[in-house]
Amino acid sequence: MGLHERRQREKESIRANILQAAFSLAKTEGWGSLSMRKIADAIEYSAPVVYDYFENKEAILFEISLDGFHKLHIELLKAQRKYDTPEEQLVAIVDAYWNFAFKNKEYYQLMFGLGMQCCGKGQMKKEFSSFQELIYECTYEIIKKNGSNTDNACHMSHALFSAVHGMISIMMMRTADIPSTMNKTALDETVSSFIKSL
């Protein structure tokens, strides 16, 4: 291995360590307490070294959020491919989305700015629309199969996304005072009613 390749690998390793340290700190202390100094201390480098790789904390958060969207996209596709009918696929996709959110709370909070500012200075994340696109496809196919007006697919799928994301956000951010009926059973009933309405 040449000197250039070795240095490149070292750079990639340091960059990966910075991202991993930031995520680990967020899991133990929360995203709000994250700082460049804490990240530097965690990887046993000086803060200027961290700034060599990332302009600021927001740039680190943006990279981590992209990783979260990528992981979510993979889970959604796996869920979709298990079933043949659009109804079954829709249920599976929503279930996978719900499960991802609660198994990966730190990712989800960062990805959607729950309890914190969204990261990325308004940069568009193409992965952001993965869930919406998949539920739109299923919604469109169900409406088409039922002989209804497919022009409604966009509006209807957006309404479902809003309901699912809203329920997750409420449960994640206000766990102490939400009604006990706000749970996975309520989500299942919402999806079932949605499919019947198409």
The domain segmentation of the chain, as residue ranges, is: 1-54, 64-197
Q: Name the helix (H) or strand (E) containing 121.
A: none
Q: Tell me, what's the pLDDT at 113? A: 79
CATH number of the domain at 1-54, please? 1.10.10.60
Per the CB < 8 A criterion, the answer to whether 167 and 182 are in contact is: yes
Q: Tell me, what's the pLDDT at 173? A: 75
| Six-digit token string for 68 | 């979260």
Per the CB < 8 A criterion, the answer to whether 85 and 140 are in contact is: no
Q: Tell me, what's the pLDDT at 123? A: 55
* Residue among 106, 103, 165, 104 nearest 130 (CA): 165
Secondary structure of the chain: what % helix, strand, coil (to 5)?
80, 0, 20
Please give the span between the terminal C-alpha atoms of the chain, in angstroms, as a whole number.
Answer: 60
| Six-digit token string for 109 | 């909070």
Please name the fold of domain 64-197: Tetracycline Repressor; domain 2 (1.10.357)
Q: Same CATH fold, 64-197 and 1-54?
A: no
Mean pLDDT by 10 residues, the chain (198 residues): 80 94 92 91 92 92 91 96 97 97 92 64 65 95 94 95 92 70 86 95
Q: Tell me, what's the pLDDT at 78? A: 97
Could you give the angle at which helices 153-173 and 184-197 cross, rounded to 10 degrees? 170
Q: Tell me, what's the pLDDT at 129? A: 85
